[in-house]
Amino acid sequence: MFCQNCPRHCYTERKFCWAPDNIKIGLWQLFYGEEPSISGKNGSGAIFFSHCNLRCVFCQNYQISQLNQGKDITDKEFLEICYELKNQGANNINLISPTVYHRRLVKLLRKLKEEKFPLPIVWNSNAYELRENIKELRGLVDVYLPDFKYGVNELALKYSQAPNYFEIAQQAVLEMFLQKPRNKYEEGGIMKAGLIVRHLVLPSNIENSKIVLKWLRDNLGSEIQISLLSQYTPLYKASLFPEISRSLIQKEYDEVSQFALSLGFKNIYFQELSSVGREFIPEF
Ligand code: SF4
């Protein structure tokens, strides 16, 4: 038996991500560290899933993504958490790193739909996903928030053990764009539906960022909302790789920002280097 939740198609007895069959959550809370149209003033209703289909050496959530922390929960408890976050005033339900629970989440999102759950559902993923799985999310997910990490496959292999990342992420993001070609906002600027493509700028790897940005502009156009993340922090195993064992410097971030502007992108979230780092890294 093969797992169909992501492009790795593991034998179910030898899972790359070690995710259990039921859902496992590292943390759920109102969260203020996302883009302004996601967090807003009230906060995003963040559900941080345990386990991940990438093994990024610099993962800022490594305790839950790779070190097995978290709590198994039932489907009923998952639905209760969504309602609890709504009652706390969350702007949305922000499913963070949901891919390894794809099948189960499709079922649960259908249930929320049937119950006319009123908040937008945000699919906050690493883009290493099957296009046909993203197709299944049509009508269930309101906002796609993929982090398009790599345009250079050698880097994806080296830092995240992810073969063919670039081609796989392209297909996933194309499908997201097909479903959400235009962004819609509520009064107050919170996103109701749409797509924000993130990109985490890695130190010493500026060309990687440029390849991702160029592909996005050529294939999705310059009107899409992009978000250039400067928050890279050399956590977990990053110190084993000298070139990424430091934070990003302003010059690198500026070069990537200028390149995005030169490509004609009109909607860019920039991030202040001084305002990031560990501030928005949750305590697991
Ligand atoms: S979700 Fe996990 S078990 Fe399933 S294919 Fe992906 S890495 Fe393998």
101 CA to middle of ligand 1, Å? 9
| Token pair listed for 148 | 């398009």
pLDDT tens per residue across span 157-167: 999 999 999 99
Distance CA 216, CA 166 (A): 12
Ligand 1, atom 8, lies closest to the CA of 10
| 88 within domain boundaries | yes
Write down the pLDDT at residue 273: 85
| 101 within domain boundaries | yes
| Ligand 1 atom with least separation from CA of 19 | 2
128 CA to middle of ligand 1, Å? 11
Q: Which residues contact 102 (CB under 8 A, 6 or more apart)?
A: 4, 5, 6, 129, 133, 136
Model pTM? Answer: 0.97
| 7 within domain boundaries | no
49 CA to middle of ligand 1, Å? 14
Site to substitute for ligand 1 among 10, 24, 105, most atoms within 8 A of C-beta:
10
| 57 within domain boundaries | yes
Write down the pLDDT at residue 185: 97
The string of DSSP letters for 188-253 reads TS-EEEEEEEEEEPPTT-HHHHHHHHHHHHHHH-SSSEEEEE------TTGGGSGGGSS---HHHH
Regions of the chain where pLDDT drops below 70: 274-280
Q: Sign (positive/negative) of CA torsion 207, 65, 52, 115?
A: negative
| Ligand 1 atom with least separation from CA of 99 | 1
- Ligand 1 proximal residues by C-beta, below 6 Å: 3, 5-6, 8-10, 15-17, 19, 53, 100
Task: Tell me which residue range forms the domain holding 96.
Answer: 23-275
Number of domains in the chain: 1
Write down the pLDDT at residue 284: 75
| 5 within domain boundaries | no
| 10 within domain boundaries | no
Write down the pLDDT at residue 276: 55
pLDDT tens per residue across span 109-128: 999 999 999 999 999 999 99
SS3 78: helix
Ligand 1, atom 6, lies closest to the CA of 6
| 27 within domain boundaries | yes
| 12 within domain boundaries | no
Residue 96: which CATH number?
A: 3.20.20.70
